[in-house]
Chains A and B, each alone.
Chain A
Amino acid sequence: MKALVVERQLHRFAAARLASALAGTGAAHGLGPLRLLETEPPALPSPAWHRIRPRLAGICGSDLHTVDGASSRYFEPIVSFPFVLGHEVVADVLDGPLAGRRAVLEPVLGCAARGIDPPCPACQRGQKGLCERIAYGEVSAGLQTGFCHDTGGAFAEELIAHDSQLHAVPDELSDEEAVIVEPTACGIHVALAANVVPGEVAVVLGSGTIGLTTLAALRRYRLPRTLIAVARHPIQRSFARSLGADAVVSSTELARAVRRATGTLAFERDADELERLAGGADVVLDCVGTAESITEALAVVRPGGRVVLAGMPSTVKVDLAPLWQREITLLGAYTYGTEHVAEPARPGAPAEVLARPTFDLAFELVRSADLGRLVSASYALEHYEEALRHAGQAGRRGAIKIVFDLRRPAGSWRNPEPATAADAPLVADHSPTKGAS
């Protein structure tokens, strides 16, 4: 089968880092760690594992980091080389209980997927993303599918998935909607990690896929008084507005927008431009993860406020003086698991706090906010260089989410029609609990 494989060759990572720094994402073609190879499908470690065939596979920021050689070396012990990239995927299930159905992969490789029993404390709490056993068990080290040698990844014609990772896709959901479920689950987790309470001012830095799904989740599950989004490109601004941002601003406008929303005073430098806010937003959700964005977040959050780091960072140089002096809480938000949301247990009942799998919430949000529209363009696996380049320049090129389309016959130039209830090859109901362990 064809697969986009990342090999552990340090000189290739270094070359990719240099090339991407000089010429942008995707520029390291031929030099970097990524290669399109003919490989054997991964073996099934146990009967709880099944073969799945990707239909659409989204390109994530973490994939681009890897391709560009920009990932932190922190990840080295929790990935296993060589691995096939790709973890945002809607696929046809080829065997097992969901055989014949479409399913979305929950890629985190927690205790259940690793056959570890009893599970670690985090997995017992349903916090799969915080699993302490991600380098142990019956598959090789890997925090997620797409970074694990034994499981394969979604940028291939086939991979394997554990029962606990598969979520059946309801037939009314198109492939485009289904492939956005995983990043939506991330956005929900970020939004809920921020613990926004009604009346607060929240800022979302970045309006890529995670920024936009976070916005949608904040609007769905929390009630900030004012929700400010920072966006660079027209398409991002447009989506941010439509997903519920009260104000959409550029980075240069952010401090003034936060000042207006909060009515705070500011410190002046030589009675000149607005230098720094005296107060600020209650919470900033950084969906970028660079030194600049973290600095920006620290600059506009109020004393005692929270900064949620959702964008994948690497080694950054940041002045933490404001974090110290203003007693700002900086917390990470990685993947998903179980969320606690206040909602009626049944229609008409009073709201109560319920523990629900993030993916269940994500399926609902994708539908209610029509998030399938975030999928902007698709590429055949053979055209991965252009796909990665497009993903790296998505906003600038009027796109949000770029996906690989593995539905088309090999060699076909035609884009297939989006999958719908009518043409979905197999039909199954999505049950919030079914398939999610």
Chain B
Amino acid sequence: MSPRPGFVLEVDRSTPPTLFWHGENFRLERLPVGSRVVYPPEPLVPLADPDAAIAHALEHPLGDSAPLSALLHRGMKLTIAFDDVSLPLPQMESPDVRSRVIEAVLDQAAAAGVDDVVLIAALALHRRMTDDELRHALGKRVFDAFAPHGLLWQHDAEDPDGMVTLGETDEGELVAINRRAAESDLLVYVNINLVAMDGGHKSVATGLASYDSIRHHHNVKTMQHSRSFMDRHHSELHTSNWRMGRLIAKSLKIFQIETTLNTATFPDQFGFLNHREWEWGLKDRAAFHTVRAALDRTPAPLARQIFHSVRAPYRLTSVQAGEVEAVHEQTLEHLFAQQLVPVQGQADVLTMGLPFISPYNVNSIMNPILVACLGLGYLFNLYKGKPLVRQGGVAILSHPTPWAFHPVHHPSYIDFFEQVLAETTDPLEVEKRFEESYARDPWYIHLYRTSYAYHGVHPFYMWYWCAHALDHLGAVIVVGGDRAAVRRLGFKPASTLADALEMAEDVVGRDPSITHLHTPPLLIAEVS
């Protein structure tokens, strides 16, 4: 039986309660009759032989690129950059697709006699990966072959000797990237394209760039004009990255490898998450009630640990390699084939259950800023065309939103929450008054470079991700969140969904139309 596409359910009296993610737990909510629920498509049938597909892609490149084997030769300097721990979510079962691809590239490099090879985790301004995370992403064989010899690097955007300026785009955007990558004869970039925002020129132009380069597109103006991040042809974020990427490509040979995964996001014990509620069988019901009963009795740190140990049974649906833009266009086709769900019209109210994980809290705490970013930056932007909620509408997020931070991973987030959001939640004011001092703060830079901390400016980007939604929405309500933390974000707290819907009526009027985004697994709503 072929997998079913995404689906928009209209809630009627017989519709069972709808599952909402609620951090490291779930809520079953009864949506008003007439509400719509947007379900993700079922997982596409994966490639039968991933390794063969990878080998085929390397030898049959897209665009004007030669096959990888033809680009490799003895005496050359080869750098392989790869997406960091922020992808995929959750981390996938071994072998991670990056390890498959990188092993295939290394086999070819070895066959060609290339002996100057360095691997670089393309962190951009993200935290460094731990050895365990690197070992999982790259596989034990690759990790053991490179890490002990100092050939497995993590991009350091603040290393004055490790960065090189390539020039400026026609729009005056500074392009500065990792020196090792820039001075290589060939840069191979290995992507996991979990969502349409990932990949393309953004991989190198952001993943290996400096703060002074990234700030040209990671800013409020760009974010407000990216509608959405998942639709690169309508995204200023991508337009800027494309300008930079084209400049980089003039001086650096890049062989881009992009991969797409299906939506098989959760293992069997969480099978109910992959199914639609009215189709839950006995096993799904039993699993749901068992899991929730256990979670209700589990302290938050332990529940977090349990969820972060979940490995997604993602499977490869496509792999393409070659010239960046040609590769990415085909990647997007594969992504949309898996994730796109047509939706008719916008709603007054958009409800979203937020899960335990976002790209920036892998093995970490989902702090309030990340809650905002996940809801308003990521899930709100899972659209092509128009947002799922109308201008002036209301977003209702469900998440416990604890006033809690990981002190190692998110030190500047704590300050951002204590200082910046206490003063203002206006993204433009935040940017104008505070960004520079956080970005240049020597302590944050020290922690970014030597510990496992996100760069000092990173919480600002999280807030900028929300800028489009904050501009678009009339109100944001958080169900079941820490009230003080929710208020600090500038949102309104509600105890129950029913309360939140009543509060929303104050903004959008009586009997509002409601759409619930039933994700993850991921989907992109194509709103007409």
Interface residues, chain A, CB within 8 Å of chain B?
247, 249, 253, 256-257, 259-260, 263-266, 268, 271-274
Contacts and interface: CB of A to CB of B under 8 A. Distances in A.
B408, B414, B418, B452 interface centre (most CB from chain A within 10 Å): B418
Given A265-B443, A272-B407, A274-B407, A256 B437 contact: no
Given A273-B407, A274-B407, A260 B437 contact: yes
Contacts of B452: 271
Interface string B422-452: 0000000000000001000111001000011
Given A266-B443, A271-B451, A249 B408 contact: no
A271 to B, nearest CB: 6
A272 B415 contact: no
Contact of B443 (A247, A249, A253, A259): A259
A272 B408 contact: yes
B384 to A, nearest CB: 40
Given A260-B437, A271-B451, A265 B442 contact: yes
Contacts of B442: 263, 265
Contacts of B414: 256
Contacts of A259: 443
Given A272-B408, A273-B407, A274-B411, A263 B418 contact: no
Nearest to B451: A271
Nearest to B407: A273
A263 B441 contact: yes
B415 A260 contact: yes
A249 B452 CA distance: 27
- Helix, strand, loop or mixed for chain A's interface? mixed
B411, B419, B443, B446 interface centre (most CB from chain A within 10 Å): B443
B460 to A, nearest CB: 14
A257 B419 contact: yes
A428 B188 CA distance: 87
A263 B445 CA distance: 11
4 closest Cβ contacts across the A-B interface? A273-B407, A253-B418, A265-B443, A256-B415
15 contacts: A247-B419, A256-B414, A256-B415, A257-B419, A260-B419, A260-B437, A260-B441, A263-B437, A263-B441, A265-B442, A265-B443, A265-B446, A266-B443, A271-B408, A272-B407
A253 B421 CA distance: 14
Contacts of B415: 256, 260
A266 B418 CA distance: 18
Contacts of A272: 407-408
A263 B411 CA distance: 14
Contacts of B411: 274
Contacts of A256: 414-415, 418
A302 to B, nearest CB: 14
A144 B437 CA distance: 48
B244 to A, nearest CB: 30
A263 B419 contact: no
A259 B419 CA distance: 12
Contacts of A266: 443
Given A257-B418, A260-B415, A263-B442, 4 more contacts: A249-B418, A263-B437, A265-B446, A271-B451
A264 B443 contact: yes
Contacts of A247: 419
Interface string B393-419: 000000000000001100100110011
B443 A263 contact: yes
B463 to A, nearest CB: 17
A273 B414 CA distance: 11
B233 to A, nearest CB: 40
Contacts of A257: 418-419
Contacts of A271: 408, 451-452
A250 to B, nearest CB: 9
B438 to A, nearest CB: 8
Nearest to A260: B415
A149 B172 CA distance: 79
Nearest to B438: A260
Contacts of B443: 259, 263-266
A263 B437 CA distance: 9
A268 B437 CA distance: 21
A271 B418 CA distance: 21
B257 to A, nearest CB: 34
Contacts of B407: 272-274
A272 B415 CA distance: 15
A247 B411 CA distance: 19
A274 B441 CA distance: 15
B412 to A, nearest CB: 9
Contacts of A274: 407, 411
A263 B442 CA distance: 7
